Amino acid sequence: MSDARREAALWVAQRGTAIVLAFCVVVHLVTIIYAVRGGLSAAEVLGRTRGSVAWAAFYVIFVVSVAVHGAIGLRNIAAEWLGLRGSGLEVAVTVAGVVLTIAGLRAVVAVFGA
């Protein structure tokens, strides 16, 4: 893939994940506000969500979007602010994205069960 095509694909991916993140953040915050106003404790929230395939799927999408969006953002910051380029940068941000994904998915499994 040419550099211009890769940059365009990354630009689209970051904007696409931004749209997904905007939706996920709103749902997440509305859910938190609803739970707090309803007087639910953290233990009660976990009791209601544990084993929920729908909520687990929602948070998997949230985590993957965060990881992709964050890795691309780190790549752009490193390139623009630090002047880093090349395969070393690509490997580093790929590793960052994988680490973010693994950490986030571990949290999803911890909250929603395997």
Q: Write out pLDDT tens, residues 41-82.
A: 988 988 888 889 999 999 999 999 999 999 999 999 999 999
Within 38-52, residue ranges assigned H as helices are 42-49
- Structure pTM? 0.89
Is 1.10.10 the CATH number for 3-112? no
Query: Domain segments of the chain: what residues?
Result: 3-112
Task: Indicate the DSSP class of residue 51.
Answer: T
Name every residue whose Cβ is closer than 8 Å to that of residue 13 and which is 6 or more positions away in sequence: 68, 72
